[in-house]
Structure 1
Amino acid sequence: MFVRSNEDANQNSIPEDLGKYKVARSGDLVVNKMKAWQGSLGLAPVDGIVSPAYFVFEADFDVPRFGEYLLRSKPYVAKFAAASDGVRIGQWDLDIPRMRNIQVSLPQAEEQAAIVRYLAHANARIDKAIAAKCRLISLLDELDRSVENGLAGSISSMASGGREISWLGALPYTWLVVPAKRLLKEVDRRSKTGREGLLSLRMREGLVDANEFTETPIPPEDLVGYKIVHPGELVMNRMRASIGLFGVAKTTGLVSPDYSTMTVADGVDPHFYLHLFKTDLAMAEFRRRSNGLGTGSSGFMRLYYEDFGPIALPLPPIEEQRRVVQDIQGQHTETLPIRSRASREITLLQEFRARLVADVVTGQVDVRGIAATLPDAPESFENAVLTIDDEFQEVLSEGEN
């Protein structure tokens, strides 16, 4: 749990009337009743208020931090899942009588303190390694964005008395100007069985199998009504169009009902527009045309097809589209192996952390001897970040091997 500020980039707005909110005292156990099966619970760090959708319980742990580690470990999250029920997995509610029957095994206070000390040091090292790999991915993202923004620059350099688009500028004289709805037509095919397989739209990976990013696959019956997308079609996340979250389907599958799925006209390479939509100029135009609550990429701003369709787009000859795509993808190919490796290693580190915590808090691994040799406080994460550059260079070197 954490203390939320007004600057937090949270999709849920804070209501003016907080009369129904619950008071949680420091050390109380707070549980999101609909997401306890995902481990959405923790001990309140300070006195405060929480959503009416949460349960608040008094908790009595000799070492509160140990209690949080224990209840959020995989074995205990599974117990919370078993104590939840409902029609579908995304709508499960925690059943309080069943929750009260969960057996909790606690070591002596001294061992709880030793475990907390050990895990604090272990987590600091894991966080440091993850931060280095995240920074690498962030720099690769910047490089890829510069490549895509180069597309807009190359268009300007080729312009020679052609038409102009307000958000993009002048075009080569051989290029046409066409509204998006003539090139990309929205379709709305709904699944009747949910068995087509769920696809997840990622910023750089595009549309991928959702099972690569979750340990709890959604059952087919919960995917009925999701949209069907076919290979070569363009997908737009309405709430994230302003940050370039588009993708081209490689396989037939399902996407969220909140996405727009679009077929492409003859003479259109969807990957050309995929790269164009990730340029700063295009994202600024998408932000301008989005509507709803909030501003920019926060709140509930959405780019609906009705607002997307009239946007003027350039239409180069298909040969030029393919040449641009080939050039950009050739440059992305150089960064993709490093990015994939770093992402995979982050996933492995997170899995290692989850296994380590579970083994330690349940007594499968005795860390009292090691903990006794450790200082009371690990190196702070802020100080650790200062030394990331050294490890970052090691990551880069590994990527070249």
Structure 2
Amino acid sequence: MSNAFDLDFNVLRYAPPHWERRPLWTLVRRRDITGRPEAELLSVYRDHGVVPRKSREDNFNKPSEDLTAYRYVRPGDLVLNKMKTWQGSLGVSRHEGIVSPAYFVCEMSPDVDAGYAHHLLRSEPYIHLYRTASKGIRPNQWDLPFDEFRKLPMLLPPRDEQRRIADFLDHETAKLTRIEFDSLRLTGLLEERQSALAAHCFTFARPDDAHSLPLRRVVQRWIDYRGATPSKTESGVPLVTAKNIRDGRIDLDASREYIATDAYTDWMRRGLLKMKDVLLTTEAPLGQVAMVNDTTIALAQRVIVLRADQVTCSPEWLYWYLRSPQGQAELELRATGSTALGIKADRLRGVPIPLPSPREAVRRLSRLSESVAEVETLQRQLVKQRALVAERRRALITAAVTGQFDVATASGRNVTEGVTA
């Protein structure tokens, strides 16, 4: 990253001298219009700003049955999710609709260009300010009071300069968005490739190439942690829940939860983990699989441990079969539930596991591991690329909205250089 884009949270002090610095309360005003239940539902995203709810498939918050208390939003209104403003969940809406009563809706002064305000108030220096102004004991309980928000300073270039900044950033960030889109599309193709590789590993030309045993006969130990989960703490032993198991691995960043160290032994009294134990989620979501490579974790309910009987089946074979399309189909076949699928222990124990000869299993797994390693190398490169794109977007926006460079002279150079694959 060029030094020209270094992020300094003090940049707000060093904006061009002809830019005004005005408190937000002089430029935004809360507006509470309700009683529009027929209007389109909108959502506020950290990465996307204000968008129609129906345009996203990853919003699992269920709206209220009665929408009359939802707040009305007009194009050009500023919308803040006060519980997540410190994460960047705010934006100027381009859509008409309604949002949750838990959100703030503000109309802006004619002195402010909507596009400029959208980029400025979502920039890194402002997110830093929101974190400082938010109240609460823990980050996931932080709340930004509107009285604190309205005290914050706003950088205000002349109106025509605001428009130039907004147009420049719209154009340049659109380039970065296209790079991200292509990267995500390639990631999807790689995921399909990996799924096809796993399917091929467990496809047999003749019925007698492999025999099957029910899951209960290929596991040496079956551990199901049930009961009330110990109270969460700020630190201690990481608690792995169903949402921490994704794409064949344990992702502790997906949900940072802990239980007290002195409660760990009692909670895990059913059995401590061993390396290469296979973890399987039984619901919410069903069928996510991971292999233990760190035994200093605690498991929540809905995550069970399958310890393979290595005389019959290797842990790697069990892990990859449960991840494969064939294994996932067997789990879904035995699952129950109308909205969220889950599988009961007695039905899970009957899942058939195909078992070729030990030599054939080793050969197939070796070939699968080599191919998957190549796919995962490409996937890591794409993840790195998207991180670079996100970093460049943040730095570009910060530099433009704080006057670190004049967009009139920057528009002729390729400021997205260096982020393409």
Tell me, yes or no, if the aligned pair for 1:27 and 1:43 is still in contact at 8 Å. Answer: yes
Q: Which residue of 2 aligns with 1:347?
A: 387
Judge which range, 91-100 or 319-328, deviates more: 319-328
Q: Which residue of 1 aligns with 2:325?
A: 280
Aligned partner of 1:186 among 206, 223, 232: 223
Tell me, yes or no, if the aligned pair for 2:400 and 2:407 is still in contact at 8 Å. Answer: yes
Counterpart CA distance in 2 for 1:307 and 1:29 is 52
Q: Which residue of 2 aligns with 1:159?
A: 207
Deviations for 1:170-224, whole angstroms, at most 9, x for unmatched residues? x724x423348956623439677633457753426x22453xx8xxx95868999
Counterpart CA distance in 1 for 2:141 and 2:300 is 17
Q: Which residue of 1 aligns with 2:417?
A: none
Tell me, yes or no, if the aligned pair for 2:307 and 2:315 is still in contact at 8 Å. Answer: yes
Q: Which residue of 2 aligns with 1:168?
A: none
Q: Which residue of 1 aligns with 2:182?
A: 132
Q: Which residue of 2 aligns with 1:386?
A: none
Per the alignment, in what secondary structure is the counterpart of residue 58 of structure 1? strand
1:4 Cα deviation after fit: 2.0
Q: Which residue of 1 aligns with 2:42?
A: none
Per the alignment, in what secondary structure is the counterpart of residue 27 of structure 1? coil
Amino acid at match of 1:188: Y
Q: Which residue of 1 aligns with 2:39?
A: none
Is 1:37 the equivalent of 2:86? yes
Deviations for 1:213-264, whole angstroms, at most 9, x for unmatched residues? 8xxx9586899999986532323343333xx532112223547846514141
Tell me, yes or no, if the aligned pair for 1:74 and 1:358 is still in contact at 8 Å. Answer: yes
**Structure 1 220/82 Cα, relative in aligned 2: closer, same or farther at 3 Å?**
farther
Q: Which residue of 2 aligns with 1:141?
A: 191
Is 1:271 the equivalent of 2:316? yes
1:58 Cα deviation after fit: 2.1
Amino acid at match of 1:236: L
**Structure 1 132/198 Cα, relative in aligned 2: closer, same or farther at 3 Å?**
farther
**Structure 1 263/94 Cα, relative in aligned 2: closer, same or farther at 3 Å?**
same
1:336 Cα deviation after fit: 2.3
**Structure 1 265/143 Cα, relative in aligned 2: closer, same or farther at 3 Å?**
closer
Per the alignment, in what secondary structure is the counterpart of residue 153 of structure 2? coil
Q: TM-score, normalised by structure 1?
A: 0.74
Amino acid at match of 1:312: V
Counterpart CA distance in 2 for 1:314 and 1:219 is 33
Counterpart CA distance in 2 for 1:122 and 1:224 is 52
1:127 Cα deviation after fit: 1.8
Per the alignment, in what secondary structure is the counterpart of residue 314 of structure 1? strand
| Alignment size in residue pairs | 348
1:92 Cα deviation after fit: 1.4
Deviations for 1:283-305, whole angstroms, at most 9, x for unmatched residues? 234334445563xxxxxx14255
1:45 Cα deviation after fit: 1.8
Tell me, yes or no, if the aligned pair for 1:196 and 1:254 is still in contact at 8 Å. Answer: yes
Q: Which has the higher helix share?
A: 1
**Structure 1 218/150 Cα, relative in aligned 2: closer, same or farther at 3 Å?**
closer
Is 1:247 the equivalent of 2:290? yes
Judge which range, 70-79 or 189-198, deviates more: 189-198
1:311 Cα deviation after fit: 3.9
1:322 Cα deviation after fit: 4.1
Is 1:309 the equivalent of 2:351? no
Amino acid at match of 2:389: L
Aligned partner of 2:151 among 78, 86, 101: 101
The unaligned stretches of length 5 or more in structure 2 are 1-49, 414-419
Q: Which residue of 1 aligns with 2:116?
A: 66
Aligned partner of 1:332 among 369, 372, 380: 372
Tell me, yes or no, if the aligned pair for 2:238 and 2:259 is still in contact at 8 Å. Answer: no
Tell me, yes or no, if the aligned pair for 2:277 and 2:308 is still in contact at 8 Å. Answer: no
Counterpart CA distance in 2 for 1:275 and 1:303 is 20
1:353 Cα deviation after fit: 0.8
The unaligned stretches of length 5 or more in structure 1 are 161-170, 295-300, 375-393, 396-401
Is 1:367 the equivalent of 2:407? yes
Q: Which residue of 2 aligns with 1:23?
A: 72
Q: Which residue of 2 aligns with 1:262?
A: 305
Q: Which residue of 1 aligns with 2:236?
A: 195
Per the alignment, in what secondary structure is the counterpart of residue 116 of structure 2? helix
**Structure 1 59/319 Cα, relative in aligned 2: closer, same or farther at 3 Å?**
farther
Tell me, yes or no, if the aligned pair for 2:237 and 2:260 is still in contact at 8 Å. Answer: no
Per the alignment, in what secondary structure is the counterpart of residue 235 of structure 1? strand
Deviations for 1:335-357, whole angstroms, at most 9, x for unmatched residues? 22222112111111111111111
Counterpart CA distance in 1 for 2:330 and 2:117 is 49
Q: Which residue of 1 aligns with 2:210?
A: 172
**Structure 1 127/111 Cα, relative in aligned 2: closer, same or farther at 3 Å?**
same
Q: Which residue of 1 aligns with 2:275?
A: 231
**Structure 1 177/221 Cα, relative in aligned 2: closer, same or farther at 3 Å?**
closer
Deviations for 1:36-56, whole angstroms, at most 9, x for unmatched residues? 111111122222111122122
Judge which range, 225-234 or 46-55, deviates more: 225-234
Q: TM-score, normalised by structure 2?
A: 0.71
Amino acid at match of 2:79: V
**Structure 1 148/55 Cα, relative in aligned 2: closer, same or farther at 3 Å?**
same
Aligned partner of 2:102 among 53, 56, 60: 53
Amino acid at match of 1:240: P
Deviations for 1:59-108, whole angstroms, at most 9, x for unmatched residues? 23531011111111111111111221223211212222222221111111
Percent identical pairs in the alignment equals: 26
Amino acid at match of 2:236: R
Counterpart CA distance in 2 for 1:223 and 1:363 is 49
**Structure 1 16/220 Cα, relative in aligned 2: closer, same or farther at 3 Å?**
closer
